Amino acid sequence: MSTDRFTRKALQVPAAQELVLSHVAAGHTELISTVTSDRRTLAETVQAPHDYPAFRRSGMDGYAVRAQDTVPDDGELPWLEVIDDVPCGAVPKEAITAGTAARIMTGAQVPEGADAVVMLEVTEQHVENGRKLVTVKKPAASGQHITPIGFEIPSGEVLLKPGRLIGPGELSVLATFGVHQVNVYRKPVVGIFSTGSELLDITDPLEPGKIRNSNTHMLAAQIVEAGAEPVVMDAIPDDIELAKAKVEEALKAYDLVVTTGGVSVGDYDIMGDLVRSGSMDMLFNKVAMRPGSVTTAAVQDGRLLFALSGNPGACYVGFLLFVRPAIRKMLGMPKDKLRLPSWSAKLGRAYTKVNNFTRFVRGTLEVSDGQVVAYPAQLDESSVMVTIKDSSCLIIIPPELKGASEGTEVNVLLLPGALH
């Protein structure tokens, strides 16, 4: 078995991502109340059930008139009799006919017969013999300040498509059209555990030779951001039988399982050994990337197991490159939204490390004079966990570059939420 450990075949990142995604499908759906659907992913097409606006809507506070009645007659300003007052939400009581007008508010329904709204500011009001009159000081054009029925959205128009992440703008649209229940994809439940006899719990005092288990807590937050629900299980010591039992149990209970640690090429490669033991189908156990070259993925009965590196930096990147796209596909998101957004940028500082594998270097993104500039973090060893919190992008340094000088054109992957 130790031969296998050393003769792993490294996949390129895009090929490994494709392989993972080919084993994932959109998950189950559920009908929920729209007011609780923020950050959920839509599982249906939503079409406009009616025109919007559903009535001819006034765009101004003023008077609804017939445009032809506002033209001065022989230099004489026209005056019109005010026969109605239409606040928002009201139904006009009377139609506008020659010589009449209705007081109207922004957003209110324009009465039948009127074909224009004139602003309050271009009118003068007076009362004559108990009759309310209005003088229009500037002729109106037909249609002015009236939003026609269906102008914003005609009935039947597709408002939202399946796979759409619901946020403030989507909620505005759904509420506007009275869509008070929506089908969304069920959140995948993701089981997480760490392996390693060196791991202490976050509440444990430090012991010689040991470190605290930090990756599961980091992963839990990453899983929430990805749109799924994390379940953190206890860490297990380096014991292949225990790991096997735990993975079997987790793959039965959860939609996806992520482990961290136990995938080195050393003697305690328990997750690697487990994946190679034949109880599941290995997708890959080496990826041509730094950090995280030992990232391993397998599938059992249609459920994915990701065995990520125990190095915090490698674990972080491995999650974003492989697990996050899988979760997003389970959430029914479209193909072009599965991976992290990729931008072109200029390198703001030289990055001189050379590697046979593509490097995903944590860095920060700045925009200077409309130009995107990416600065690699100063410390970039895979074990250095402190730079994760300060990064806004992963800078892709392919091996062909053999290091990269300041100003080199690179591609960067935007980290979730990092620009706010």
123 to 182, contacts with its own copies by CB under 8 A? 147, 152-153, 159-160, 167-180
Min separation Cβ 75 and its own copies, Å: 28
Q: Which of residues 273-302 bind its own copies (CB under 8 A)?
A: none
Compute, in degrees rounded to 10, the torsion defined by CA atoms 297, 279, 266, 359: -10
Q: Which of 216, 286, 213 is nearest to 250 (CA)?
A: 216
Min separation Cβ 73 and its own copies, Å: 29
Q: Which stretch binds its own copies (CB under 8 A): 8-16, 21-29, 195-203, 272-280?
A: 195-203
Min separation Cβ 70 and its own copies, Å: 20
Q: Which of residues 370-389 bind its own copies (CB under 8 A)?
A: 370-372, 379, 383-389
Question: Toward its own copies, which CB reaches closer, 175 or 245?
Answer: 175
Order of strands, sheet of 303-308, starting from the edge strand that comes earlier in the sequence: 229-232, 189-194, 256-260, 303-308, 296-300, 281-284
Separation of alpha carbons 403 and 226, rounded Å = 32
Decide: is 23 part of the binding site for its own copies (CB under 8 A): no
Residue 371 zone, left/alpha/beta (φ > 0; ψ -120 to 50; rest)? beta
Separation of alpha carbons 323 and 317, rounded Å = 10
Separation of alpha carbons 361 and 408, rounded Å = 14
Decide: is 200 part of the binding site for its own copies (CB under 8 A): yes
Question: Toward its own copies, which CB reaches closer, 369 or 400?
Answer: 369
Min separation Cβ 103 and its own copies, Å: 8
Answer for which of 29, 144, 183, 264 binds its own copies (CB under 8 A) is 264
Q: Which of residues 61-120 bind its own copies (CB under 8 A)?
A: 61, 86-92, 103, 105-109, 120
Evaluated on CA atoms 33, 39, 45, 48, the torsion sign reads: positive
Answer for which of 204, 234, 249, 281 binds its own copies (CB under 8 A) is 204
Residue spans of beta strands (DSSP E) within 34-157: 46-47, 57-58, 62-65, 79-86, 100-104, 116-119, 123-128, 131-136, 146-147
Q: Which stretch binds its own copies (CB under 8 A): 128-136, 219-227, 249-257, 295-303?
A: 219-227
Question: Toward its own copies, which CB reaches closer, 70 or 215?
Answer: 215
The DSSP secondary structure of 225-249, one letter per residue, reads HHT-EEEEPPPB-S-HHHHHHHHHH
Binding-site size, its own copies (CB under 8 A): 110
Q: Which of residues 232-251 bind its own copies (CB under 8 A)?
A: 232, 237-238
Question: Toward its own copies, which CB reaches closer, 28 or 138?
Answer: 138
Question: Toward its own copies, which CB reaches closer, 19 or 165?
Answer: 165
Separation of alpha carbons 290 and 357, rounded Å = 6
Decide: is 406 part of the binding site for its own copies (CB under 8 A): no
Q: Which of residues 318-337 bind its own copies (CB under 8 A)?
A: none
Question: Toward its own copies, which CB reaches closer, 179 or 283?
Answer: 179
Q: Are 344 and 334 in contact (CB under 8 A)?
A: no
Min separation Cβ 401 and its own copies, Å: 16
Q: How far apart are the first and last CA of the chain?
A: 47
Answer for which of 63, 185, 268, 322 binds its own copies (CB under 8 A) is 268
- Find where tokens 């895009």 sit: 14
Min separation Cβ 332 and its own copies, Å: 16
Decide: is 369 part of the binding site for its own copies (CB under 8 A): yes
- Residue 278 corresponds to which amino acid? G
Q: Which of 207, 80, 188, 179 is nearest to 136 (CA)?
A: 80
Answer for which of 135, 214, 300, 355 binds its own copies (CB under 8 A) is 214
User: 118: which residues sit within 8 A by CB, 6+ positions away?
Assistant: 60, 62, 63, 65, 70, 136, 138, 140, 144, 145
- How far CA 99 is from CA of 85, 137, 378, in Å, comes to 16, 15, 77
Q: Which of 30, 123, 116, 27 is nearest to 79 (CA)?
A: 123
Peptide bond into 291 cis (omega under 30): yes
Strand partners, 342: 413
Q: Which of residues 298-317 bind its own copies (CB under 8 A)?
A: 310, 312, 316
Question: Toward its own copies, which CB reaches closer, 294 or 299?
Answer: 294
Question: Toward its own copies, which CB reaches closer, 113 or 343?
Answer: 343
Min separation Cβ 386 and its own copies, Å: 6
Min separation Cβ 239 and its own copies, Å: 12
Answer for which of 95, 211, 350, 354 binds its own copies (CB under 8 A) is 211
